[in-house]
Amino acid sequence: MSDIEVPESHPRYQSLLTRHRIEDGVEKGITSPQGLIAQGRGEAFDYLLGERTLPSVDRAERVAAAHLLRARHPVLSVNGNVAALVPDELITLAEATGADLEVNLFNRTEERIHAIVDHLREHGACEVKGTTADERIPGLDHERAKVDADGIYDADVVLVPLEDGDRAQALAEMGKTELVIDLNPLSRSPQTAAVPIIDNVIRALPNITTHARDLADASSDQLDDVIAGFDPETVLTETERAIRTGGD
Protein backbone atom coordinates (compact mmCIF):
# COMPACT_ATOMS: atom_id res chain seq x y z
CA MET A 1 0.00 0.00 0.00
CA SER A 2 1.12 3.58 -0.56
CA ASP A 3 -0.43 6.92 0.38
CA ILE A 4 -3.88 5.69 -0.70
CA GLU A 5 -5.82 2.64 0.45
CA VAL A 6 -5.46 0.76 -2.83
CA PRO A 7 -3.08 -2.19 -3.27
CA GLU A 8 -0.31 -1.64 -5.82
CA SER A 9 -1.53 -4.77 -7.64
CA HIS A 10 -4.82 -3.04 -8.47
CA PRO A 11 -5.05 -2.70 -12.30
CA ARG A 12 -5.96 1.01 -11.98
CA TYR A 13 -3.43 1.67 -9.19
CA GLN A 14 -1.42 4.35 -11.01
CA SER A 15 -4.52 6.16 -12.20
CA LEU A 16 -6.11 6.06 -8.73
CA LEU A 17 -2.90 7.34 -7.13
CA THR A 18 -2.79 10.18 -9.66
CA ARG A 19 -6.41 11.13 -8.93
CA HIS A 20 -5.67 11.11 -5.24
CA ARG A 21 -2.74 13.50 -5.71
CA ILE A 22 -4.92 15.94 -7.69
CA GLU A 23 -7.69 15.70 -5.09
CA ASP A 24 -5.13 16.36 -2.37
CA GLY A 25 -3.79 19.30 -4.39
CA VAL A 26 -7.27 20.86 -4.50
CA GLU A 27 -7.68 20.35 -0.74
CA LYS A 28 -4.32 22.04 -0.07
CA GLY A 29 -5.15 25.00 -2.32
CA ILE A 30 -2.44 24.08 -4.86
CA THR A 31 -4.61 22.78 -7.69
CA SER A 32 -7.59 24.66 -9.11
CA PRO A 33 -10.96 22.82 -9.06
CA GLN A 34 -10.75 22.96 -12.87
CA GLY A 35 -7.64 20.84 -12.53
CA LEU A 36 -9.91 17.89 -11.71
CA ILE A 37 -11.58 18.26 -15.09
CA ALA A 38 -8.23 18.61 -16.87
CA GLN A 39 -7.07 15.42 -15.13
CA GLY A 40 -10.16 13.56 -16.40
CA ARG A 41 -9.50 14.69 -19.96
CA GLY A 42 -5.88 13.63 -19.69
CA GLU A 43 -6.79 10.21 -18.28
CA ALA A 44 -9.10 9.51 -21.19
CA PHE A 45 -6.35 10.19 -23.73
CA ASP A 46 -3.83 8.20 -21.70
CA TYR A 47 -6.18 5.21 -21.59
CA LEU A 48 -6.52 5.33 -25.39
CA LEU A 49 -2.73 5.62 -25.76
CA GLY A 50 -2.34 2.45 -23.70
CA GLU A 51 -0.76 4.40 -20.82
CA ARG A 52 2.67 4.10 -22.42
CA THR A 53 5.34 6.30 -23.96
CA LEU A 54 5.39 5.69 -27.72
CA PRO A 55 8.82 5.48 -29.44
CA SER A 56 8.29 8.78 -31.31
CA VAL A 57 7.42 10.43 -27.98
CA ASP A 58 10.55 9.03 -26.33
CA ARG A 59 12.50 10.67 -29.16
CA ALA A 60 10.69 13.97 -28.50
CA GLU A 61 11.63 13.66 -24.82
CA ARG A 62 15.30 13.24 -25.76
CA VAL A 63 15.08 16.28 -28.03
CA ALA A 64 13.44 18.24 -25.18
CA ALA A 65 16.34 17.26 -22.89
CA ALA A 66 18.84 18.44 -25.52
CA HIS A 67 17.01 21.80 -25.87
CA LEU A 68 17.03 22.32 -22.09
CA LEU A 69 20.76 21.53 -21.86
CA ARG A 70 21.60 23.70 -24.88
CA ALA A 71 19.53 26.68 -23.67
CA ARG A 72 20.96 29.98 -22.44
CA HIS A 73 18.12 30.21 -19.90
CA PRO A 74 15.72 27.25 -19.63
CA VAL A 75 12.58 27.55 -17.47
CA LEU A 76 10.09 24.89 -16.36
CA SER A 77 6.62 26.41 -16.07
CA VAL A 78 4.60 25.04 -13.15
CA ASN A 79 0.79 25.05 -12.80
CA GLY A 80 -1.50 23.64 -10.14
CA ASN A 81 -1.79 20.18 -11.68
CA VAL A 82 1.90 19.48 -12.14
CA ALA A 83 2.75 20.90 -8.72
CA ALA A 84 0.39 18.32 -7.19
CA LEU A 85 1.36 15.42 -9.46
CA VAL A 86 5.13 15.65 -9.89
CA PRO A 87 6.80 18.11 -7.48
CA ASP A 88 9.91 15.97 -6.92
CA GLU A 89 10.27 15.17 -10.61
CA LEU A 90 10.10 18.88 -11.52
CA ILE A 91 12.89 19.69 -9.06
CA THR A 92 15.03 16.78 -10.27
CA LEU A 93 14.65 17.85 -13.91
CA ALA A 94 15.47 21.47 -13.01
CA GLU A 95 18.63 20.28 -11.26
CA ALA A 96 19.65 17.98 -14.13
CA THR A 97 19.33 20.75 -16.73
CA GLY A 98 20.09 23.94 -14.79
CA ALA A 99 16.56 25.20 -15.44
CA ASP A 100 14.59 27.67 -13.31
CA LEU A 101 11.17 26.76 -11.91
CA GLU A 102 8.44 29.39 -12.36
CA VAL A 103 4.83 29.16 -11.21
CA ASN A 104 2.49 30.41 -13.92
CA LEU A 105 -1.25 29.92 -13.55
CA PHE A 106 -4.29 30.17 -15.74
CA ASN A 107 -6.60 30.65 -12.74
CA ARG A 108 -4.10 32.89 -10.99
CA THR A 109 -4.55 33.97 -7.37
CA GLU A 110 -1.74 35.24 -5.15
CA GLU A 111 -2.78 32.67 -2.52
CA ARG A 112 -2.37 29.77 -4.91
CA ILE A 113 0.94 31.09 -6.30
CA HIS A 114 2.34 31.21 -2.75
CA ALA A 115 0.86 27.80 -1.84
CA ILE A 116 2.64 26.25 -4.85
CA VAL A 117 5.92 28.02 -4.12
CA ASP A 118 5.77 26.77 -0.51
CA HIS A 119 4.85 23.26 -1.66
CA LEU A 120 7.85 23.11 -4.03
CA ARG A 121 10.14 24.47 -1.31
CA GLU A 122 8.88 21.75 1.06
CA HIS A 123 9.86 19.25 -1.62
CA GLY A 124 13.40 20.70 -1.73
CA ALA A 125 13.34 23.47 -4.36
CA CYS A 126 15.76 26.31 -3.55
CA GLU A 127 14.38 29.09 -5.73
CA VAL A 128 10.95 29.24 -7.30
CA LYS A 129 10.02 32.18 -9.53
CA GLY A 130 6.57 33.50 -10.38
CA THR A 131 5.78 35.76 -7.45
CA THR A 132 7.20 38.98 -8.95
CA ALA A 133 5.15 38.95 -12.17
CA ASP A 134 6.80 42.18 -13.33
CA GLU A 135 6.50 41.48 -17.06
CA ARG A 136 3.76 40.48 -19.51
CA ILE A 137 3.75 38.12 -22.49
CA PRO A 138 2.53 40.32 -25.36
CA GLY A 139 -0.74 39.37 -27.03
CA LEU A 140 -2.29 37.48 -24.10
CA ASP A 141 -5.18 39.01 -22.19
CA HIS A 142 -5.43 36.46 -19.37
CA GLU A 143 -3.52 35.76 -16.19
CA ARG A 144 -1.00 33.48 -17.89
CA ALA A 145 0.52 36.62 -19.44
CA LYS A 146 2.00 37.54 -16.03
CA VAL A 147 5.61 36.37 -15.83
CA ASP A 148 8.84 37.24 -14.03
CA ALA A 149 11.22 39.50 -15.97
CA ASP A 150 14.16 37.30 -14.95
CA GLY A 151 12.19 34.07 -15.50
CA ILE A 152 9.93 33.08 -18.41
CA TYR A 153 10.19 36.56 -19.94
CA ASP A 154 13.95 36.19 -20.29
CA ALA A 155 13.97 32.44 -21.11
CA ASP A 156 14.93 31.09 -24.51
CA VAL A 157 13.51 27.60 -23.85
CA VAL A 158 10.33 26.98 -21.82
CA LEU A 159 8.88 23.60 -20.82
CA VAL A 160 5.13 23.87 -20.46
CA PRO A 161 3.22 20.92 -19.06
CA LEU A 162 -0.60 20.85 -19.40
CA GLU A 163 -1.23 24.14 -21.10
CA ASP A 164 -4.65 25.30 -22.17
CA GLY A 165 -3.88 26.87 -25.51
CA ASP A 166 -2.81 30.29 -26.69
CA ARG A 167 0.29 30.87 -24.57
CA ALA A 168 2.27 28.42 -26.70
CA GLN A 169 1.74 30.61 -29.73
CA ALA A 170 2.46 33.84 -27.84
CA LEU A 171 5.75 32.44 -26.50
CA ALA A 172 6.74 31.24 -29.97
CA GLU A 173 6.04 34.75 -31.30
CA MET A 174 8.51 36.05 -28.69
CA GLY A 175 11.12 33.78 -30.29
CA LYS A 176 11.15 31.20 -27.51
CA THR A 177 11.41 27.47 -28.05
CA GLU A 178 8.44 25.80 -26.43
CA LEU A 179 8.40 22.22 -25.22
CA VAL A 180 4.81 21.16 -24.44
CA ILE A 181 3.65 18.11 -22.48
CA ASP A 182 0.00 17.32 -23.21
CA LEU A 183 -1.79 13.99 -23.69
CA ASN A 184 -4.09 15.41 -26.37
CA PRO A 185 -2.29 15.63 -29.75
CA LEU A 186 -5.18 17.71 -31.13
CA SER A 187 -4.83 20.39 -28.47
CA ARG A 188 -3.58 23.80 -29.69
CA SER A 189 -0.50 23.96 -27.49
CA PRO A 190 1.22 20.76 -28.69
CA GLN A 191 0.17 21.69 -32.23
CA THR A 192 2.16 24.93 -32.02
CA ALA A 193 5.06 23.63 -29.89
CA ALA A 194 8.59 23.19 -31.24
CA VAL A 195 8.60 19.87 -29.35
CA PRO A 196 5.20 18.29 -28.63
CA ILE A 197 5.42 15.60 -25.95
CA ILE A 198 2.23 13.55 -26.07
CA ASP A 199 2.69 11.70 -22.81
CA ASN A 200 1.49 11.70 -19.23
CA VAL A 201 3.54 14.23 -17.27
CA ILE A 202 4.09 11.45 -14.73
CA ARG A 203 6.08 9.45 -17.32
CA ALA A 204 7.43 12.38 -19.33
CA LEU A 205 9.35 14.27 -16.62
CA PRO A 206 11.42 11.32 -15.33
CA ASN A 207 12.09 10.27 -18.91
CA ILE A 208 13.33 13.74 -19.93
CA THR A 209 15.56 13.69 -16.84
CA THR A 210 16.99 10.28 -17.82
CA HIS A 211 17.79 11.64 -21.29
CA ALA A 212 19.29 14.82 -19.80
CA ARG A 213 21.60 12.77 -17.56
CA ASP A 214 22.58 10.63 -20.53
CA LEU A 215 23.40 13.79 -22.54
CA ALA A 216 25.06 15.64 -19.65
CA ASP A 217 28.57 15.35 -21.15
CA ALA A 218 27.52 15.94 -24.75
CA SER A 219 29.11 18.86 -26.62
CA SER A 220 27.01 21.66 -28.13
CA ASP A 221 27.48 20.07 -31.56
CA GLN A 222 26.28 16.70 -30.25
CA LEU A 223 23.21 18.34 -28.67
CA ASP A 224 22.51 20.12 -31.96
CA ASP A 225 22.70 16.73 -33.70
CA VAL A 226 20.04 15.34 -31.33
CA ILE A 227 17.80 18.33 -32.09
CA ALA A 228 18.45 18.39 -35.85
CA GLY A 229 15.90 16.72 -38.04
CA PHE A 230 13.27 16.45 -35.32
CA ASP A 231 9.85 16.67 -36.88
CA PRO A 232 7.02 17.67 -34.51
CA GLU A 233 4.43 16.56 -37.09
CA THR A 234 5.62 12.94 -36.82
CA VAL A 235 4.87 12.86 -33.09
CA LEU A 236 1.44 14.45 -33.55
CA THR A 237 0.50 12.11 -36.41
CA GLU A 238 1.79 8.94 -34.75
CA THR A 239 0.14 9.61 -31.41
CA GLU A 240 -3.17 10.52 -33.04
CA ARG A 241 -3.00 7.30 -35.07
CA ALA A 242 -2.22 5.26 -31.94
CA ILE A 243 -5.17 6.83 -30.12
CA ARG A 244 -7.52 6.14 -33.04
CA THR A 245 -6.35 2.58 -33.72
CA GLY A 246 -4.91 1.38 -30.44
CA GLY A 247 -1.69 0.46 -32.28
CA ASP A 248 1.87 1.85 -32.26
Q: Which residues are annotated as a binding site for ATP?
A: 19, 41, 182-184, 188-189, 200-201
Q: CB of 194 within 8 A of CB of 178?
A: yes
Selection from 79, 116, 72, 76 nearest residue 99 by Cα? 76
Q: How far is CA 40 from CA 18, 23, 75, 79, 112, in A?
A: 11, 12, 27, 16, 21
Contact flag: residue 183 with ligand PTJ (CB under 6 A): yes
Cβ proximity to ligand PTJ: between 218 and 241 the closer is 241
Size of residue set near ligand PTJ by CB under 6 A: 24
Contact flag: residue 41 with ligand PTJ (CB under 6 A): yes
Contact flag: residue 51 with ligand PTJ (CB under 6 A): no
List of E strands, 83-217: 100-103, 135-136, 146-147, 157-161, 177-181, 195-197
Contact flag: residue 105 with ligand PTJ (CB under 6 A): yes
Report the SS3 class of residue 248.
Answer: coil
Q: Which residues contact 36 (CB under 8 A, 6 or more apart)?
A: 22, 23, 26
Binding residues for ligand PTJ restricted to 122-161, rule: CB under 6 A: none
Contact flag: residue 80 with ligand PTJ (CB under 6 A): yes
Contact flag: residue 14 with ligand PTJ (CB under 6 A): no
Residues in touch with ligand PTJ (CB under 6 A)? 32, 34-35, 38-39, 41-42, 45, 79-81, 105-107, 162, 164, 181-184, 187, 200-202
